[in-house]
Structure 1
């Protein structure tokens, strides 16, 4: 198996889908603008610094979904896709994914953003395999605000790939070639695990590491 792994936000997308969804809920009037934006900005800075408490963030990020209910949230997300996500997708990002698919690679999007926000985005990219933060749900199927299983964040991304392989009766030894595209220092554990790490639109810290180690640096949005 040849495995091509992609981060999503600021890697395939020139924005942060989780942050953007939060701001979209503010525009819908679901969240207090000042309070939500302040908290959203603070969590985003923690993410970029590598200090984010993922469980705390997921409780925050799913607040509007839990308050409004999944049916209403799904309808709003369809608008979000049409108004925010689809116009932002760049041809170069789509072409890169299709290039790996045409080469026969198993293409997977692996992201620290939750499944509710990201599954429709993966579908637009034509990617069936998505590893996102899975949301715990109650008896009605509504998100509880907690995380189900291992969050696909930092070292958790390595664990999730290994779980995905095991579920298919495979291990890393069965992967003849592995690549991972990411912009973020948070993804260093998985970048170090694969055979071909690609620093894609990298943040300053990752760019420095990539240059030091001779990793390929790719800018999709220039």
Structure 2
């Protein structure tokens, strides 16, 4: 079957779930919201510019999870999905996923955002395969660290090839949809790279490569 791969934030969603969760979490966890929002904004700008310190960013996003029991975190996450995510699910994105599903394609999301947050979002799209940064859990609690390969930039390529090693799927005829120049390494890997509401760097690269460009907004 053909593999259809989707980035999540600002591709299938009309916003960035990680940023939105950071603001939501800071408020519910009684953290310094002004400081958290400012740092989160800086990390996002670094990400857009392609200069993000991945380990530093993941420490910033994952350490606070270690401060609370899992049942509280899941309760907040459920509230967050209802109040912040469902409203930014793009109708055209739902249609695009449905089109690939009708074609019998294998559906996958690859996202830099951690799996605790993105698994229920993947479920909203009924996409069965999620490759995401994995927060480490010990004794039923988050440790604040991550395991495996962070699925950012070239890490998405590594994660995908690790998955393919244990799968009967190939990249023959494959698609990848993304908004970000950070995903150029993976876009270069697939048969059909598609720039979706692309940032400036990806727009320029897609134009030079003759890649398809679309909008889901």
TM-score, normalised via structure 2 length? 0.96
1:27 and 2:17 equivalent?
A: no
Helix, strand or coil: the match of 2:174? strand
How far the C-alpha of 1:63 sits from its partner, in A, is 3.0
CA RMSD of aligned residues (A): 1.2
Alignment coverage as a number of residue pairs? 217
1:58 and 2:54 equivalent?
A: no
Show the counterpart of 1:163. 162
Aligned equivalents of 1:111, 1:215: Cα separation in 2? 21
Q: Residues 198 and 218 of structure 1 are in contact (CA less than 8 Å); yes or no, is this contact kept in structure 2? A: yes
Structure 2, unaligned runs of 5 or more: none
Aligned equivalents of 2:17, 2:182: Cα separation in 1? 16
Aligned equivalents of 1:103, 1:169: Cα separation in 2? 18
Q: Residues 65 and 73 of structure 1 are in contact (CA less than 8 Å); yes or no, is this contact kept in structure 2? A: yes
Q: Residues 5 and 177 of structure 2 are in contact (CA less than 8 Å); yes or no, is this contact kept in structure 1? A: yes
Helix, strand or coil: the match of 1:193? coil
How far the C-alpha of 1:39 sits from its partner, in A, is 0.9
Show the counterpart of 2:18. 18
How far the C-alpha of 1:169 sits from its partner, in A, is 4.8
Helix, strand or coil: the match of 1:177? coil
Runs of 4+ in 1 over 6 A off after TM superposition: none
How far the C-alpha of 1:28 sits from its partner, in A, is 1.8
Show the counterpart of 2:211. 215
Aligned equivalents of 1:176, 1:219: Cα separation in 2? 24
Which range moved further: 76-85 or 37-46? 37-46
Structure 1, unaligned runs of 5 or more: none
Q: Residues 31 and 64 of structure 1 are in contact (CA less than 8 Å); yes or no, is this contact kept in structure 2? A: no
1:54-98: per-residue Cα shift (whole Å, max 9, x none)? 221111112332112221111000000000001111211111011
Give the 5 Å matches for 1:1-222: 1-138=1-138, 140-169=139-168, 174-221=170-217
Aligned equivalents of 2:55, 2:30: Cα separation in 1? 22
TM-score, normalised via structure 1 length? 0.94
